[in-house]
Amino acid sequence: MKLYEAVGKRILEYCSERNITPNKLCTMSGVIQSTVNSIFSGRSKNPKLATIQFLCDGLGIKLKDFFNSPLFDDIDD
């Protein structure tokens, strides 16, 4: 799995766990919808760490918790 794919899946996991839509997460985090859509669609091959931090802030989690997932165990270069 590519890093950008794992990031998109992880965002969706958190949205599902919290029963919120990605659109609601955008509102909560201040990240624009097109940026999140680019991550989900794979157009953004290298999402910025700052963007992920803003999403984590919106979710009320720490960055280390975001990356603490088996999704990131076998990342392809």
What is the structure's pLDDT at 37?
A: 92
What is the structure's pLDDT at 40?
A: 87
Q: Identify residue 38 by its one-letter amino acid code.
A: S
State the pTM of this model: 0.89
What is the structure's pLDDT at 45?
A: 86
- Whole-angstrom distance, CA of residue 7 vs CA of residue 73: 12
Kindly list the averaged pLDDT for each block of 10 residues, start to end, along the chain of length 77: 93 95 94 93 90 96 96 88
SS3 state of residue 58: helix
Position 76 in a domain? no
Position 75 in a domain? no
SS3 state of residue 2: strand
What is the structure's pLDDT at 16?
A: 95
What is the structure's pLDDT at 74?
A: 87
Position 62 in a domain? yes
Residues of the domain holding 10: 3-70
Number of structural domains (the chain) is 1
CATH of the domain at 36: 1.10.260.40
Position 24 in a domain? yes
Angle (nearest 5°) at CA 66 between 50 and 33 = 50
Position 7 in a domain? yes
